[in-house]
A and B are shown apart, each in its own frame.
Chain A
């Protein structure tokens, strides 16, 4: 599938990536001619399996990886020439927990804020720590904090300079449900404050819950970028399984226009169709009406909507089959 690059007409993207490639020493191509535009104020979820190129993409924008080819503009600034100005406005929460564990939360916050050129502001730091329930831990050494708390510290550090564009690389990987919910709430708050957020995640429910748009990346290539709802509409499916009282030899003619197959020696009538916007459900209701009308009795009906996860898995399988 060709990469889709959606952009609002007339609105300059906050991040504009063109033709970005990265080949590591040894020949591994982590990014292959990536084009991606991120809109101001949106939450963008980048989905992809391990080794797809998500972290390399983030690293290329944030300065940890030197791209082999391509251009990156952030806030309209060429990041090769105006990297200082651009980086001052970008925050990053990395995947790995990496800090001086013998340092205190407070000192790490002041270090991060200073590093990004901001003057000391105790009140602002307190606000950030409070929003992450870290205020009472500010004098604690990081090594004494739990894993979840350490992750909160990473987020607090990334927010310490009030970035306009925030990267979250697998922010909730390995965290408990409560912290994940807290993170989602925080991300929502940041969006309300106008922060543009790009997150990579393995939890597709996270993208489904939070993102405005979703990008799917695999083997260094962007396979699809679209509104989350548009993806659901384009690739979403309704599945319905009717358990029949009596086995059926063939699908009745009245149901011929639907995508229906018989399984389990004719005892299970399976429908698959719709487009994720609700017309699949209408089809199921109509099929049920026709079955009743024709006197075909069924004892159970299981219906499900395909999630973003199903779509993602399906796309990956298609990719592998096409490879």
Chain B
């Protein structure tokens, strides 16, 4: 039977750790995103044409939110599991009556919670700089939760894979960040000339940004069902990878 108290202990500990580092977890990403809103939303956005009938300032809100969600979910979860490995306190987790289920719900749940709080703050902050509406708020919340959970799982995998702080930052900085910038955060991929438009469709982040954009404005560059389906598939893939890690004990029990 699942150890509920153990799950809660991990979750509470992780949330409390984030609260202790509130500047890094909340203040810093909110400040960075606000700067994007000021520069690209208010300042430059006023000079830009509407994209797909949506004011440019409003158009970039889902993309910027996705940018923050991806990087924060990944780094929160990767640090969450990497730090106990680094400090040696992982022994307690490994010797406790908690398995993959408790560990995932605890660590990934906490990382996703932090991301959701962050998303709420960013959306609230965005209203100060740009006018935007959310066409499907329930779907938007659901999609944000799905993305936060999926990339927290990815972060968890990275935190187990990494053998140093450099490796921990490698995927978020060298893969996620460029793909997000090129994934339609600041533009519609329909604005790209061929063959770049077709090339862009190979970027998985395009589907995430456009999935969220659809929940905001009811239209996007790609089919919403493809976006949701591929996000679910990514989440399932991460769960399978983590299950295999726990089963084999890779980087944890050797």
Contacts and interface: CB of A to CB of B under 8 A. Distances in A.
B9 interface: yes
Contact of A64 (B8, B12, B91): B91
A286 interface: no
B97 interface: yes
Given A111-B13, A114-B5, A98 B87 contact: yes
Given A96-B88, A99-B89, A84 B5 contact: no
Contacts of B253: 63-66
Given A25-B254, A99-B89, A115-B6, A92 B95 contact: yes
A94 B99 contact: no
Contact of B97 (A83, A97, A113): A83
Contacts of A24: 254
Contacts of B92: 92, 98-99, 112, 115, 157
B83 interface: yes
Nearest to A91: B95
A84 B3 contact: yes
B204 to A, nearest CB: 33
B10 interface: yes
A117 interface: yes
Contact of A84 (B8, B9, B87, B97): B97
A87 B97 contact: yes
Interface residues on B, range: 20 to 34
B91 A92 contact: yes
Interface string A81-101: 001110110101010111111
Interface SS of chain B? helix
A100 B17 contact: yes
B20 A115 contact: no
Interface in B89-131: 89-99
A88 B16 CA distance: 24
Interface string A108-136: 00111111111100000000000000000
A62 interface: yes
B88 A94 contact: yes
A105 to B, nearest CB: 14
A135 to B, nearest CB: 22
Nearest to A58: B95
Contacts of B98: 115
Consensus secondary structure, chain A interface: loop
A185 interface: no
Given A87-B95, A116-B97, A100 B88 contact: no
Interface string B1-35: 10101101110110011001000000000000000
A87 B94 CA distance: 10
Contact of A88 (B10, B89, B97, B249): B97
A25 B248 CA distance: 13
A254 to B, nearest CB: 62
Given A84-B97, A116-B96, 12 more contacts: A62-B94, A62-B95, A64-B94, A84-B1, A87-B95, A92-B91, A98-B84, A98-B88, A98-B89, A100-B89, A103-B13, A114-B5
Interface of A: 24-25, 62-66, 83-85, 87-88, 90, 92, 94, 96-103, 107, 110-119, 157
Q: Which 7 A-B pairs have the closest CB atoms?
A: A98-B88, A114-B9, A62-B95, A84-B97, A87-B97, A115-B96, A66-B249
Interface of B: 1, 3, 5-6, 8-10, 12-13, 16-17, 20, 83-84, 87-99, 249, 253-254
19 contacts: A63-B96, A64-B95, A65-B253, A66-B254, A92-B92, A97-B88, A98-B88, A98-B91, A98-B92, A99-B87, A115-B6, A115-B92, A115-B98, A116-B96, A117-B5, A117-B97, A118-B5, A119-B5, A157-B92
